[in-house]
Structure 1
Amino acid sequence: MTWLKEILGTEKAIIAMCHLLPLPGDPYFNNEKGMDYVVEMARKDLHALQEGGVDAIMFSNEFSMPYLTDVKTETVAAMARIIGELMSEIKVPFGVNVLWDAKKSLDLAAATGAKFVREIFTGVYASDFGTWNTNVGETIRHQHRIGAQNVKLLYNVVPESAAYLAEREIESIAASTVFNNRPDALCVSGLTAGAKTDVQLLMRVKEAVPNTILLVNTGVNFTNFKEQLSIADGAVVGTTFKYDGKFENHVDVDRVKKFMDKVKVFRDNL
């Protein structure tokens, strides 16, 4: 039994994104509506996702654009407040992602009881956010120092809006990441949130590390989910669940239900 089955209750799991609005300190934070509005919009999306039947939810500061790689304390504090206020209403397993700061994601997980985090744990990149370095050895030691050793780590090996500084084949990246770090899952992405993940890329990663859980990280939708989930072990879904399938919109419960109904039929026929 994989940890997906043990913790999320199913194989081919769908982890739904609960994208938080801009937070205090972010350029687009709405000072007039304040944090109460952010909490209420998060509550609305949470309930829509749960009512729609998703397997798990991941909270992220998706609209803290442009992203930092050394996230400020006020961002983590705001995310902790939101999750804390919603805690009694969360009915499915949940994870967190503080974009793009692996240590802060673990801090938030430890504070809230999140079951998993998704982050860029390894590699050095040229990105839209500047040169992006990581220190996985220190990050994992931090995980153990704060008592978060049971938090599952989802390693994003194809970061959005970034590329390895050194030219490396994806098979090499996947194999060395698994050998050196023992990730709980690898996530493979498209260029940005909502962008389709290349099927050939998925296949190459799965062939390189067949015994590691592989998640499609972006771009899973009504037309391609069967193809994607026939290769991957699960998917992280955000944009598809929103009104009109647009990244900037809130969650549409009818779209969630329709999508999850199709996924459940697919899973039943495996």
Structure 2
Amino acid sequence: MTTTWIDEVFGVRKPVIAMLHLSALPGDPGYDSAAGISAIVNRARTELEALQGGGVDAVMISNEFSLPYLTKTEPITAITMARIIGELLPDISVPYGVNVLWDGRASIDLAVATGAQFVREIFTGVYASDFGLWDTNVGEVARHRARVGGAGVKLLFNIVPESAKYLADRDLASITRTTVFATAPDGICVSGATAGAPTDTDALRTVKSAAGDTPVFVNTGVKAENVAAQLSIADGAVVGTYFKKDGLFANAAEKSRVEELMGAAKEFRAQLA
């Protein structure tokens, strides 16, 4: 079997990447300045323990509670995330990535600064979104990645962004094909409408069929009861909301829920051997 970058980074087939959602950061409307950054670090460390203890294959650290999101973040966001990740690094025992929502350049900068092996972002397309008109410049971002020494950072392109609609009148298969041909993503993510929302199975299958050798990740809505079905199509999964207490976005990750989903994922993967 041919070795892929997924094998090299994650060491398993069909990896499950757990989201580690950081609390609101300085500059965000929801930031708790009284509790300060130490409270963010403490919650993140507790959730990291639950995720790794529950058996996830990797973690991706994001500023998920920086709502409403910016498409070009303020410097304080990535700077604070770098401090938090620096404090967590001694405790991270699995491959890790980062995501500065919704800023591709900042995500790459953070990955280079912290040694993260992959990022996920919206790198291509123009969208009408809840955050305004959302434009991208993948050529500029690719050159920035090279300038800052990030050539080894794997880029996961989300081509079905949450809370947004592609402005061009193009079908998902053609978007996938041209994205792969013109921009050479390391992986493609397929999402539902919001964090935790189900990813349409037909959309996932369409992207997988059109992506050729480029790995495809199901990016939202993965649960213990559907992880086998989703991984039967996708090359990996990104999971956040399901791992949280009661499956609610605002809550912290809970080890028992992690174990439940990872048990189902590992049982499915065992059948592939």
Per-residue deviation, residues 36-86 of structure 1 (Å, max 9, x unmatched): 000100101111100011000000000000000010011011100100001
Equivalences for residues 92-103 of structure 1 within 5 A: 92-103=94-105
The one of 242, 255, 263 equivalent to 1:240 is: 242
Pick the aligned partner of 1:53 from 52, 55, 63. Answer: 55
Q: Residue 46 of structure 2 corresponds to which residue in structure 1? A: 44
- Give the counterpart of 2:134 among 132, 138, 141: 132
What does residue range 117-156 of structure 1 map to in structure 2 within 5 Å? 117-156=119-158
Displacement of 1:210 in angstroms is 2.9
Superposed displacement of residue 2, structure 1: 1.4
Match of 1:161 in 2: 163
Corresponding residue of 1:223: 225
Q: 1:30 Cα shift?
A: 0.5
Aligned to 1:26, which of 25, 28, 39? 28
The one of 161, 180, 186 equivalent to 2:188 is 186
Partner of 1:90: 92
Aligned residue type for 1:100: W
RMSD of aligned alpha carbons: 0.6
Deviations 1:13-50 (A, max 9, x none): 00000000000000000011010000100101111100
Consecutive unaligned residues in structure 1, runs of 5 or more: none
| Structure 2 contact 228–264 (Cα < 8 Å) conserved | no
Q: Which residue does the alignment assign to 1:177?
A: 179
* Match in the other structure for 2:37: 35
SS in 1 for 2:221: coil
Corresponding residue pairs, total: 270
Tell me what 1:263 maps to: 265
Normalized against structure 1, the TM-score is what? 0.99
- In the other structure, the counterpart of 1:63 is 65
* One-letter amino acid matched to 2:97: G
Letter in 2 for 1:154: L
> Partners in 1 of 2:66 and 2:211 — Cα distance?
33
**Structure 2: tracts of 5 or more residues without a match:** none
Residues 19 and 62 of structure 2 are in contact (CA less than 8 Å); yes or no, is this contact kept in structure 1? yes
Identity of aligned residues (%): 58
1:79-99 deviation per Cα after TM superposition (whole angstroms, max 9, x unaligned): 001000011110000000000
Q: In structure 2, how many angstroms separate the alpha carbons of the residues matched to 1:248 and 1:210?
A: 36
Runs of 4+ with >4 A deviation: none
Distance 1:250 1:266 in 2: 26
